[in-house]
Structure 1
């Protein structure tokens, strides 16, 4: 399959997965809200207050997941966000199950517990998809230039004393020459930053040369991507190697390198 067609298929699948995950998240939260609304109605809350009360429980799940996403993009762990998500999830599950009351059928409790559990998992999957998309759109980070510190007055004065005085020479007056108009040099357009996918492919392609013209194993690619701070699952490594060998088919005929 051509690289362009494969990329279009992957993009379509990603969009479909995002749509289905969003729909699952909405349905799960709605079912959880319904159960908590019935529980609130049975305990002296009616009308708008009965519908607003479930938000005091389920909203913690959404807030905690969003804070976890922000911390993940910043490459750190937010224990407060994890605690918030856990408390909201456990509270929602417990209240949904408690709303069943006394029942001799265990499936009644299972049915009550499924919506809050599904809401937690579906929203987590949705945030994971958002994380992957945002990371793939981040440009390559380059190191900032190192500032040059000017020498102090004492050092500058010492350098000036060490410089030899220029010897004055008699320079003949230049003859009149025709004026030549220099053409302006073309301005090079700035290169677009590499996407995460391009960086992964470049690292995998370099392994063929660093391994002595051999096909890298999954272990080689995973270690190289991990050192670069990039996604390094087995599926990511294999897909990158397929893209590289599609661009350069002769690489498929190279002998396999042994994984250390």
Structure 2
């Protein structure tokens, strides 16, 4: 068998290719080994850093009236906040949100541990004494953060595998021939009939109602404008004065104040501007 034939997948009777079992690539094995090594080294660094920080805080507690089990339990009241905060930050990251309480706990535990480790040195002329005292809590914070980061990536990769859609092992079969359209069956021809004369249908005109539709009554304002407009004709194409309008409106039982008379004449002349040019009628 040639090299080309060995790389081809055999065909199944249904026409789909079977998925051959392939060994894991060497690159994936190398990545897995590096990941495991990093996880082991990070875990070891975290344990050593927390142990050194606990030891320094234990000595500080012993110098200040705590003995035995209480002296060993007291460092947990400081360094445990680092672990609790980092775990809560990891939980919030998986939920795609920010947990400010977790950040505050981590910062409080880290700063408190560093400050207490440095304070346990006391007065020293060598600055390296303070550096040595501050390294374990700082290393504990960073190492535990790196460890939580690796756990975060592992959980995300597991989530992608569980939520990924399944890959079909058999290729879908597509039809190679289009579906044949059904043949049209010719309809039987109708027998020829002799034409039959049908009577012409004429449309009758609709009856026209002679009754007039009732008109809506005029408003008071329209009545006033109608009366004022009629005065121009009654006075022989002269412009009525306020007295003429007031008398006409009073006879009709409508409001007839001076302001009302002037407003009514203004509305009429606005509608017919040529009425303004007529001569003023002299009041009798």
Q: TM-score, normalised by structure 2?
A: 0.49
Q: Could you tell me which of 75, 100, 104 is aligned with 2:121?
A: 100
Q: Could you tell me which of 18, 22, 31 is aligned with 1:10?
A: 31
Q: Distance in 1 between matches of 2:124 and 2:50?
A: 24
* Other-structure match for 2:45: 24
After TM superposition, the structure 1 = structure 2 runs for residues 48-87 of structure 1, keeping only pairs within 5 Å, are 48-87=69-108
* Other-structure match for 1:146: none
After TM superposition, the structure 1 = structure 2 runs for residues 190-205 of structure 1, keeping only pairs within 5 Å, are 191=166
**Structure 1 residue runs of 4 or more that deviate by more than 4 Å after TM superposition:** none
Task: Identify if the C-alpha distance between structure 1 residues 4 and 112 changes in structure 2 by more than 3 Å, giving closer, same or farther.
Answer: same
User: Which secondary structure state, in structure 2, belongs to the residue aligned with residue 93 of structure 1?
Assistant: helix
> How far did 1:7 drift?
0.4
Q: How many residues align?
A: 145
* Other-structure match for 2:144: 123
Q: Which runs of 5+ in 1 are unaligned?
A: 143-189, 194-260
Deviations 1:182-220 (A, max 9, x none): xxxxxxxx8279xxxxxxxxxxxxxxxxxxxxxxxxxxx
Task: Identify if the C-alpha distance between structure 1 residues 131 and 192 changes in structure 2 by more than 3 Å, giving closer, same or farther.
Answer: farther
User: Which secondary structure state, in structure 1, belongs to the residue aligned with residue 129 of structure 2?
Assistant: helix
Q: Which runs of 5+ in 2 are unaligned?
A: 1-22, 169-284
* Other-structure match for 1:155: none
Q: Distance in 1 between matches of 2:90 and 2:27?
A: 28
Q: Distance in 2 between matches of 1:25 and 1:94?
A: 19
Q: Distance in 1 between matches of 2:98 and 2:157?
A: 20
Deviations 1:102-148 (A, max 9, x none): 00100000000000000000000000000000000104658xxxxxx
After TM superposition, the structure 1 = structure 2 runs for residues 141-160 of structure 1, keeping only pairs within 5 Å, are 141=163
Q: Distance in 1 between matches of 2:167 and 2:120?
A: 56
Q: Distance in 2 between matches of 1:11 and 1:192?
A: 24
1:88 equivalenced with 2:109 (yes/no): yes
User: Which secondary structure state, in structure 1, belongs to the residue aligned with residue 150 of structure 2?
Assistant: helix
Q: Distance in 2 between matches of 1:31 and 1:115?
A: 6
Q: In proportion to residue count, which structure has more helix?
A: 1
Structure of greater Rg: 2
Q: Distance in 2 between matches of 1:91 and 1:18?
A: 27
